[in-house]
Amino acid sequence: MRRLAPGVRALGLLALLLASGAGSAPVLAAPDDVALLKSYIGTWRGRGTLTGANVETVVCRLTLAEGNRDMVNYNGRCTLAGTQLSIAGTVAYVEENRRYEAAMSSNAKFGGRAIGQKRGSNLVFTMHERDKDEVGKDLDISAQMKFSNDAIHVVFDVVYVDNGDSLRAEVPFTR
């Protein structure tokens, strides 16, 4: 890992995926889609790794709770090398867009949106974007969060465009 700041940023972007919440309210969301989303309400704990030049342990807690109008609210916290990231937001099935949407805010001064799709009995959120690190270097960021039965699995990749250096976080969650 280059230094702690990119790792903390990667952890923050990982949290973005974990804490995604919808920016618009669902319109007559399909009952089965809402039921699938609400089946994940509860407290989740995850322990995984952030791999770059070094391997570091990432420890996360995520709480999903029933919100207004068929939404699920979430609050979470991840710790890496003594640094904490807090996140909050909502997740909903948005019938007018025929998809799950999630958006978040954090104490790391970023927020965003992830799109979710139902794949069989699983719910998978994906995100891909370009951004810059704290010194202006281009980053290619991709992430996936899979809700499957009684587990959540997050995989998150950051690649520095100029030199190919990368960070990868993998965090499995259980109740």
**Which of left, alpha, beta for 161 (phi over 0: left; psi -120 to 50: alpha)?**
alpha
- Residue 106's pLDDT is 73
Q: Is the pLDDT of residue 119 over 60?
A: yes
- Residue 3's pLDDT is 41
Q: Give the largest Cα separation in the chain, rounded.
A: 48
Mean of per-residue pLDDT scores for the chain: 80
Split at pLDDT 50, 70, 90, the class of 132 is confident
pLDDT tens for 21-67 read 333 343 446 788 888 889 999 999 999 998 988 999 999 999 999 99
Query: How many other CB atoms are there within 10 angstroms of residue 71's CB atom?
Result: 23
What is the rounded average pLDDT of the residues 136-140? 89
pLDDT tens for 5-33 read 555 555 555 554 454 433 334 344 678 88
Q: Is the pLDDT of residue 135 over 50?
A: yes
Q: Is the pLDDT of residue 154 over 90?
A: no
pLDDT tens for 70-110 read 899 988 888 987 788 788 888 898 888 888 998 877 776 55
pTM of this structure? 0.77
